[in-house]
Amino acid sequence: MNMSICIYEHESYRGFLKDFFHQKQKANKSYSLRAFARDLGLTPQTLSLTLKNKRRMSLESASRITKKLQMPLCEAAYFLDLVIFCDIAEEAAKEIVAQRIKNAQHNYFEKNGTQVFKLHRASE
């Protein structure tokens, strides 16, 4: 799948997946959540519950999604960090992952001459 959405503008893997789905749906009005789930290698129920924040995403599923979306390694690592960030309860570990996310955003936006977004503590 070709991706034109900038993952570094997202602070939530759910938000990224929702935006990606909406982009695909905009290009093809008949593109459904069921088709998106199939393309990601997930069941429609799993994807729906995940997007509604009623189910966590496993790192195995997240890794599979990065491959299905053909993400470059740096973007895949960022996506995985977003998944990890949402599930970490321990404050010190959460801070480490937040710093990795912030550094990845900074590196991307500095390289591309755009503003760095501030990571919020909300787990969407």
Looking at per-residue pLDDT, the higher value among 58 and 120 belongs to 58
Q: Which is it for the CA torsion 100, 6, 66, 46, positive or negative? A: positive
More confident residue, 112 or 6: 6
- Cα–Cα distance, 79 to 101 (Å, whole number): 9
Condensed to tens digits (0 to 9), the pLDDT of residues 64-93 reads 999 999 999 999 999 999 999 998 999 999
How does pLDDT run across 39-52, given as a tens digit for each residue? 999 999 999 999 99
Measured from the Cβ of residue 17, the count of other Cβ atoms closer than 10 Å reads: 23
Question: What is the maximal distance between C-alpha atoms in the chain?
Answer: 44
Q: Is the pLDDT of residue 121 over 70?
A: no
Position 114 scores a pLDDT of 60
Spatial distance between the Cα atoms of 85 and 100, rounded to a whole number of angstroms: 10
Do residues 16 and 7 touch, judged by C-beta distance below 8 A? Answer: yes
- Number of H helices and E strands in the chain, helices first, is 6, 0
DSSP-assigned letters across all residues of 45-90: HHHHHHHTTSSPPPHHHHHHHHHHTT--HHHHHHHHHHHHHHH--S
